[in-house]
């Protein structure tokens, strides 16, 4: 039998499920009374109570807000450190190929042999397919091998490779911050690939230079201590 949650636990779960509320709390732009009233019905349904004490909900909101602020402050220090100590590389003219799993596995040795000398190559396994991101000039060999097993193909892509300190492995929020910055600048990410301390963002070739410059400016400004990272939009 499932244990009945307390009001405080329900409030924490509800707030944590709304990133926009979390951001506003951490930016100190939340009216706790208004927030408590806005989630009252959700708290009542989640806690199976016919009547919910507004003051209890507000107190739970305030207490959890303090916890969030402390946690966010510590995490932001790590995000700033990681991004400030990251370097970037841009690979233009990349082709992204998605192919059936069985076809790739059947030809994996030949694919790896052809891709070994490519200036850029990444292979990612999904549940039913593999996705290959490879330099355009080497892609024709792989395309010929996979032939009819290809289910999707994107030409004219580029790869932004972010090389970070090892702390990125255990620090939440770094990729979220990067993707939020690009999203607010209208840049779509077609693929995200993680390889140990490398974060690889595949974007349209048309967006590549702008995406690189946006992230490069953020990194430089973080190094100089001009911005903090508790915002999910372009801090310029």
Tens of pLDDT, residue by residue over 151-186, are: 999 999 999 999 999 999 999 889 999 999 999 999
Sheet arrangement for strand 198-204:
121-125, 129-135, 87-100, 150-163, 198-204, 189-195
State pLDDT tens for residues 107-161: 999 999 999 899 999 999 999 999 999 999 999 999 999 988 999 999 999 999 9
- CA-CA distance, 76 to 106, in Å (whole number)? 45
- For the ranges 25-34, 194-203, 211-220, the lowest mean pLDDT is seen at 25-34
CB count, 10 Å around CB of 120? 20
- CA-CA distance, 141 to 115, in Å (whole number)? 8
State pLDDT tens for residues 32-89: 999 999 998 888 888 776 667 889 999 999 999 999 988 888 788 899 999 999 999 9
Is the model's pLDDT at 231 over the cut of 70? Answer: no
Q: How far is CA 78 from the centre of its chain?
A: 16
Two structure tokens written together for 61: 């909101």
Q: How far is CA 162 from the centre of its chain?
A: 13
Of 158, 148, 181, 4, whose CA–CA distance to 79 is shortest?
181
Q: What is the pLDDT of residue 227?
A: 64
Q: What is the pLDDT of residue 226?
A: 63
Q: What is the pLDDT of residue 6?
A: 84
SS3 labels along 146-175: HHHHEEEEEEEEEEEEEECCHHHHHCCCHH
Q: What is the pLDDT of residue 52?
A: 72
> For the chain, what percent of residues have pLDDT higher than 90?
72
Is the model's pLDDT at 232 over the cut of 80? Answer: no
Q: What is the pLDDT of residue 233?
A: 37
Is the model's pLDDT at 236 over the cut of 60? Answer: no
> To which H or E segment does residue 95 belong?
strand 87-100
Q: What is the pLDDT of residue 235?
A: 38
Mean pLDDT of the chain: 90
Contacts of 38 (CB under 8 A, 6+ apart): none
95 close to 154: Cβ distance less than 8 angstroms: yes
- CA-CA distance, 23 to 1, in Å (whole number)? 35
**Does the model's pTM come out above 0.85?**
no
Mean pLDDT calculated for residue range 1-17 = 82
Burial class (CB in 10 A: 0-12, 13-18, 19+), 82: buried
pLDDT band of residue 234 (cuts 50, 70, 90) is very low
Is the model's pLDDT at 8 over the cut of 80? Answer: yes
Q: What is the pLDDT of residue 62?
A: 94
Q: Enter the DSSP assignment of 235.
A: -
């Amino acid at each position: 039998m499932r244990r009945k949650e307390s009001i405080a636990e329900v409030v924490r779960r509800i707030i944590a499920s709304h990133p926009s509320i979390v951001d506003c709390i951490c930016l100190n732009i939340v009216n706790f009374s208004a927030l408590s009233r806005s989630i009252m019905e959700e708290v009542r349904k989640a806690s199976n109570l016919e009547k919910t004490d507004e003051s209890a909900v507000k107190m739970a909101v305030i207490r959890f807000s303090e916890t969030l602020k402390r946690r966010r402050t510590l995490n932001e220090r790590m995000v700033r450190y990681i991004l400030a100590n990251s370097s970037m590389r841009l690979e233009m003219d990349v082709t992204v190929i998605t192919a059936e799993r069985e076809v790739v596995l059947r030809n994996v040795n030949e694919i790896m042999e052809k891709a070994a000398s490519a200036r850029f190559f990444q292979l990612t396994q999904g549940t039913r397919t593999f996705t290959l991101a490879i330099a355009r000039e080497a892609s024709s060999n792989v395309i010929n091998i996979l032939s009819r097993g290809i289910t999707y193909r994107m030409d004219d892509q580029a790869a932004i490779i972010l090389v970070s300190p090892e702390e990125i492995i255990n620090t939440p929020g770094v990729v979220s911050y990067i993707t939020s910055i690009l999203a607010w600048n209208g840049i779509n990410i077609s693929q995200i690939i993680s390889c140990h301390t490398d974060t690889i963002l595949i974007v349209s070739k048309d967006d590549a230079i702008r995406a690189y410059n946006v992230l490069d400016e953020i990194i430089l400004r973080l190094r100089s201590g001009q911005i903090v990272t508790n915002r999910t939009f372009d801090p310029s």
